[in-house]
């Protein structure tokens, strides 16, 4: 279940309106470029994120054939991407299985430092700023996505040009936050204290029950004013949030498992991007 807006059918006015065919070909082009630039036949462990875009990453990798992919294992960031990987005939390794392998057989991961066992992680995003900080969690998989990103040497964020924004939350409506159901109201109040306007528990539809995550939790979509981006940090003194400062503040709320702001504490590793963006962040 997605947050109330935007969707392909109800784009906000500041997102370019594209036909479904154009959107799909832009997604495919971004993914083909991402795989051409960041996938290597020598890799053994590949992280696969969630959402409709990353399906084209799987398509592009599977197209290389079993001679390339048979020795590889694919770590999905959720049940949907596990099904996608399996459906493409690729081998799935869950996060716990990867961690068990790494602790039981460290020699299988030569040269790995900082527990970055996964060679590369491909994932989509809901919105990406000029420095490749991203909002994710439109598909409610943000926690596992953050775990897979953490375990990866490189995070390739694949997004078509609709997802670009000068600042996070300039076009995407809210920050997705995964919360323990028992504390959802407490978290909503604390998000309002941080400046969110009317944070809501995501539901399966209007008036329906909350939509659960793969972890049995709920998602709260918390609308904030657009965040600062690189070069605007001075404004933080006026009480405005940067991606990192808002993520840290939300993470500090009792009952929050994870927040859908992906902005590396070590700083972004930006690349020059075309209109169909394949961005890389550590």
**218-222 vs 256-259, strand pairing mode:** unpaired
Q: Is 213 in the site for ligand 5RP (CB under 6 A)?
A: no
Within positions 41 to 60, which residues make up the interface with ligand 5RP, using CB under 6 A?
A: 49-53
Please tell me the distance from the alpha carbon of residue 201 to that of residue 64, in angstroms, as a whole number: 41
Q: Interacting stretch for ligand 5RP, rule CB under 6 A, among 67-75, 122-130, 189-197, 205-213?
A: 122-130
Hey, which residues are catalytic here?
145
Q: Nearer Cβ to ligand 5RP, position 129 or 145? A: 145
Q: Which of 124, 127, 125, 123 is nearest to 223 (CA)?
A: 127
In whole angstroms, the minimum distance from the beta carbon of 85 to ligand 5RP comes to 15
Please, are residues 225 and 169 in contact by the beta-carbon 8 Å criterion?
A: yes
Q: Please identify the residue of the shown chain whose CB is closest to the bound ligand 5RP.
A: 51
Q: Which one of the spans 60-68, 106-114, 141-149, 193-201 is the region binding ligand 5RP (CB under 6 A)?
A: 141-149
Which part of the chain contacts ligand 5RP (CB under 6 A), choosing from 31-39, 61-69, 124-132, 194-202? 124-132
Least distance (Å) from ligand 5RP to the CB of residue 111?
29
- Please give the residue ranges that form the binding site for ligand 5RP (CB under 6 A): 49-53, 123-126, 136-142, 145
């Amino acid at each position: 279940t997605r947050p109330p807006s935007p969707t392909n059918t109800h784009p906000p006015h500041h997102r370019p309106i594209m036909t479904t065919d154009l959107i799909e070909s832009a997604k495919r082009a971004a993914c083909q470029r991402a795989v051409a630039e960041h996938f290597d036949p020598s890799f053994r462990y590949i992280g696969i994120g969630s959402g409709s875009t990353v399906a084209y990453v799987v398509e592009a990798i599977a197209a290389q054939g079993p001679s390339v992919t048979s020795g590889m294992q694919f770590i999905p960031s959720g049940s949907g991407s596990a099904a996608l990987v399996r459906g493409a005939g690729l081998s799935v390794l869950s996060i716990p299985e990867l961690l068990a392998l790494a602790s039981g057989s460290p020699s299988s991961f030569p040269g790995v430092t900082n527990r970055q066992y996964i060679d590369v992680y491909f994932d989509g995003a809901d919105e990406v700023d000029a420095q490749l900080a991203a909002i994710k969690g439109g598909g409610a998989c943000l926690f596992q996505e953050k775990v897979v990103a953490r375990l990866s040497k490189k995070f390739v964020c694949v997004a078509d040009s609709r997802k670009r924004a000068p600042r996070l939350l300039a076009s995407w409506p809210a920050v997705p936050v995964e919360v323990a159901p028992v504390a959802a109201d407490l978290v909503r109040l604390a998000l309002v204290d941080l400046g969110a306007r009317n944070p809501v528990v995501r539901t399966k539809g209007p008036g329906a029950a909350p939509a659960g995550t793969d972890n049995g939790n709920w998602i709260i979509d918390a609308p904030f004013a657009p965040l600062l981006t690189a070069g605007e940090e001075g404004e933080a003194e006026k009480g405005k949030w940067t991606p990192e400062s808002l993520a840290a503040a939300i993470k500090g709320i009792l009952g929050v498992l994870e927040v859908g702001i992906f902005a590396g504490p070590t700083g972004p590793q930006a690349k020059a991007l075309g209109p169909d963006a394949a961005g890389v962040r550590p």
